[in-house]
């Protein structure tokens, strides 16, 4: 009857999985398992749900030795059980205290029912290797301090949370399936995206240096003396404007250490003859006494 109920449950949930497009399994105890999920069955088998089928393999488990020479071995699913009541002293009515901690081995002299002492591992002095990932489950046999293996989920079946912003870059650590954090950079004062740790000079004020740390823009003003050198080799201060001494129609300025110049356009000459020469430093001819042209 139990076998028929198990087969019916497996068939029913398999149909449901096909409808939803997701493979599932039903383990030996009737629990529904997701595709890719792993678990320990019977204490000595590692099982997984693969393509809708339960696949198990036996683990290497260290079993307890025979506690007394007169004990009879009873085969078990993983480790043998010991019947110590058929021969030797009658221990069926004797209550023996348990071990002081898990993994202790009893010391039972001949003719005794209970342990007179225990051999326990001192795990406080043992340094165990770090698991490959935080989501891995250790397999520690009885009497051992450190795991002999780890059961880690397949990263292809692990769903990770998406980035907080589309341009964020994932940061992984220690073989984890999911990012431990996201590098989303910073937005500078001009709206540009800067990477984590990036350092740049502000385009508006070149003496201001900014950096991106943990999505925060930090700026400071460095000690810099910006200026320009004009076409004649003369030094010019920042924001200074001047008229070219050779071509009076050319006007220049110093902006962010760069010299920028433009040529001024003069109005067309009048129809009357113009014989008045321009004054020194004057750009346009002043041929009409009623008009004044500024340079």
pLDDT in tens, 23-32: 789 988 888 9
d(CA 23, CA 51): 6
CATH architecture of 2-58: Ribbon (2.10)
Number of other CB atoms surrounding residue 8 within 10 Å = 10
Q: DSSP readout, 238-285? A: TT-EEE-SS-TTEEEEEETTEEEEEEPPPPPPPSS---PPPPTT--S-
pLDDT in tens, 136-159: 888 888 767 888 888 887 777 777
For the ranges 82-91, 148-157, 206-215, the lowest mean pLDDT is seen at: 82-91
Range among 43-52, 56-65, 90-99 rated most confident? 43-52
d(CA 29, CA 19): 24
d(CA 109, CA 70): 11
Asked if the model's pLDDT at residue 130 lies above 70, the reply is yes
- In this prediction, residue 88 carries a pLDDT of 62
d(CA 235, CA 254): 10
- In this prediction, residue 237 carries a pLDDT of 85
The whole-chain average pLDDT of the chain stands at 77
What's this model's pTM, rounded to 2 decimal places?
Answer: 0.26
- In this prediction, residue 295 carries a pLDDT of 41
- In this prediction, residue 1 carries a pLDDT of 46
Residue 280, burial from CB neighbour count under 10 angstroms (0-12, 13-18, 19+): exposed
Asked if the model's pLDDT at residue 292 lies above 50, the reply is no
């Amino acid at each position: 009857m139990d076998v028929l109920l198990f087969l019916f449950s497996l068939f029913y949930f398999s149909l449901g999985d096909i409808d939803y497009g997701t493979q599932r399994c039903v383990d030996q105890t009737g629990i529904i398992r997701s595709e890719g999920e792993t678990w320990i069955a019977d204490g000595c088998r590692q099982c997984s749900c693969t393509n809708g089928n339960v696949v198990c393999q036996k683990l290497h488990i260290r079993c307890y030795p025979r506690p007394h020479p007169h004990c009879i071995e009873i085969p078990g699913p993983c480790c043998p059980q010991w019947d110590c009541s058929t021969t030797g002293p009658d221990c069926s009515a004797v209550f023996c205290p348990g071990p002081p901690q898990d993994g202790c081995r009893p010391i039972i002299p001949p003719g005794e029912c209970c342990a007179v002492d225990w051999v326990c591992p001192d795990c406080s002095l043992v340094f165990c290797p770090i698991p490959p990932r935080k989501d891995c489950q250790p397999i520690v046999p009885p009497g051992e301090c450190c795991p002999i293996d780890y059961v880690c989920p397949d990263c292809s079946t692990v769903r990770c949370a998406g980035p907080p912003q589309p341009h964020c870059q994932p940061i992984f650590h220690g073989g984890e399936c999911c990012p431990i954090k996201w590098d989303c950079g910073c937005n500078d004062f001009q709206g540009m995206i800067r990477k984590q740790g990036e350092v740049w000079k502000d385009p508006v004020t070149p003496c201001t240096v900014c950096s991106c740390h943990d999505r925060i823009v930090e700026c400071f003003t460095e000690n810099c003396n910006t200026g320009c050198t004009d076409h004649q080799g003369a030094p010019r201060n920042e924001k200074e404007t001047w008229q070219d001494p050779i071509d009076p129609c050319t006007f220049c300025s110093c902006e962010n250490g760069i010299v920028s110049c433009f040529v001024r356009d003069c109005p067309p000459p009048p129809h009357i003859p113009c014989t008045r020469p321009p004054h020194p430093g004057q750009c346009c001819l002043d041929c009409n006494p009623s008009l004044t042209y500024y340079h």
